[in-house]
Homo-oligomer: A and B are copies of this chain.
Amino acid sequence: MPELRKDPILGRWVIISVERGKRPADFAPMAHRKKGGFCPFCPGNEYTTPEETLAFRPPGSLPNKPGWSLRVMPNKFPALQAHGALNKMGEGIFDKMNGVGVHEVIVETPEHYQSLSTLPEKMVEDVLWAYYLRLTELRNDSRLKYVLIFKNEGEAAGASLEHSHSQLIGLPIVPRTVKDELKGSRAHYDLKERCIFCDIIYQELSDGRRVVAENEGYVALSPFAPRAPFETWILPKAHESAFSPQQKSFKALAELLQGILKRLDALLESPPYNYIIHTSPFTEEQNEYYHWHIELMPKLTKIAGFEWGSGFYINPTPPEEAARFMREVQV
């Protein structure tokens, strides 16, 4: 079973694959490795993956067989292991726990060469529904404190398989970044009795320079202090603390998300990117201080010594310019 270990100085957790550890030769430069043509996410290859936990398929089609338009299943090489009780231990001054958790893959389309920006908008809606349905289901697992939903697109952004997919990891602890965001949001709420994200949205919509796009329910912004060039956040305009549909629909969100992806594809030659859904933990899903949102970062620059050592980021593109380029590009 993997192990969660805590850095004693920073309190930062890492997940260590203690059993099937990678040896030096496993890190040979990419060029030395063979690229296989086999895709476990393509229809017909369902037998090579763990059994599906959710699928959108026509009535009458069989589970774990072709016919699906979207399919969710446990990751075959999970970062955390689904079975067993949570067990916390010390090792001298160090702290660790066994790596209990959930790691699933959301295959967004049966077609190998489609991407989230090229799919019919309705299928992007389905992807958002799949996120929401799995989140709703996993809320019942009392070992889990948080479910992180994210997408890595392109090898440079960490995708190890080409076929378009997202991932979710259910964790036995609230991750540090989420804790820090909650802390910052609560501090603002304690001071002002307002949600800091609502304040940001109000200021950005009045100012306009960093607004990329908006529709009736959502706004896409270049944040004031972006870590990366063309970093974009998508937020519900009205206060919502947890990821959920608006009036039982993900249509407006799918439209805005896909619009942003199309713009990035046009501006930056289909760049690799990561996006992450930032939402409230299960124990405090409905609250006044935290505002769920999507953070999307094209992978255009590299994390280097300065970023590792300082926690600062150097961003060569001002968000005002990034927003302008994104507003003006033809898609």
Q: Which residues of A contact B (CB under 8 A)?
A: 3, 5-18, 21-24, 26-29, 79, 91-94, 148, 150-152, 156-159, 167, 169, 171, 175-178, 180-181, 184-185, 188, 196-197, 199-200, 203, 207, 223-227, 229-230, 267-269, 271, 274-278, 295, 297-298, 300, 302-306, 308-319, 321, 325
Q: Could you tell me if B16 and A315 are in contact, using CB atoms closer than 8 angstroms?
A: yes
Minimum CB–CB distance for A172 against chain B, Å: 12
Minimum CB–CB distance for A199 against chain B, Å: 6
Q: Could you tell me if A8 and B196 are in contact, using CB atoms closer than 8 angstroms?
A: yes
Q: Roughly how many angstroms separate A277 CA and B306 CA in the complex, as a whole number?
A: 10
Which residues on B sit within 8 Å (CB–CB) of A316?
17, 21-22, 26
Q: Could you tell me if A22 and B229 are in contact, using CB atoms closer than 8 angstroms?
A: yes
Minimum CB–CB distance for A85 against chain B, Å: 21
Q: Roughly how many angstroms separate A213 CA and B293 CA in the complex, as a whole number?
A: 46
Q: Roughly how many angstroms separate A200 CA and B93 CA in the complex, as a whole number?
A: 7
Q: Could you tell me if B310 and A23 are in contact, using CB atoms closer than 8 angstroms?
A: no
- How many copies are assembled? 2
Q: Could you tell me if B303 and A167 are in contact, using CB atoms closer than 8 angstroms?
A: no
| Interface of chain A: mostly helix, strand, loop or mixed | mixed
Which residues on B sit within 8 Å (CB–CB) of A276?
305, 308-309
Q: Roughly how many angstroms separate A271 CA and B24 CA in the complex, as a whole number?
A: 11
Q: Could you tell me if A79 and B314 are in contact, using CB atoms closer than 8 angstroms?
A: yes
Q: Roughly how many angstroms separate A229 CA and B225 CA in the complex, as a whole number?
A: 30
Interchain residue pairs with CB less than 8 A apart (27)? A8-B224, A8-B225, A9-B181, A12-B225, A14-B313, A14-B314, A16-B225, A16-B318, A17-B314, A17-B315, A18-B318, A21-B317, A24-B268, A28-B269, A79-B306, A91-B224, A94-B203, A148-B309, A151-B305, A157-B304, A157-B305, A158-B302, A167-B306, A175-B309, A177-B309, A274-B308, A277-B309
Minimum CB–CB distance for A63 against chain B, Å: 27
Minimum CB–CB distance for A134 against chain B, Å: 16
Q: Could you tell me if A93 and B203 are in contact, using CB atoms closer than 8 angstroms?
A: yes
Which residues on B sit within 8 Å (CB–CB) of A310?
148, 169, 171, 175-178
Partner of A274, one of B181, B305, B311, B321: B305
Which residues on B sit within 8 Å (CB–CB) of A177?
10, 308-311
Nearest B residue (CB) for A92 = B203
Nearest B residue (CB) for A168 = B306
Q: Roughly how many angstroms separate A159 CA and B295 CA in the complex, as a whole number?
A: 27
Which residues on B sit within 8 Å (CB–CB) of A156?
302
Known: A9-B196, A180-B311. A23 touches B325 (CB 8 A): yes
Q: Roughly how many angstroms separate A7 CA and B278 CA in the complex, as a whole number?
A: 15
Given A158-B304, A177-B311, A297-B308, 4 further pairs, Cβ under 8 A: A10-B184, A14-B315, A175-B309, A175-B310
**Pairs of residues from A and B, 5 with the lowest C-beta to C-beta distance, nearest first:** A158-B304, A150-B305, A175-B310, A276-B309, A176-B311
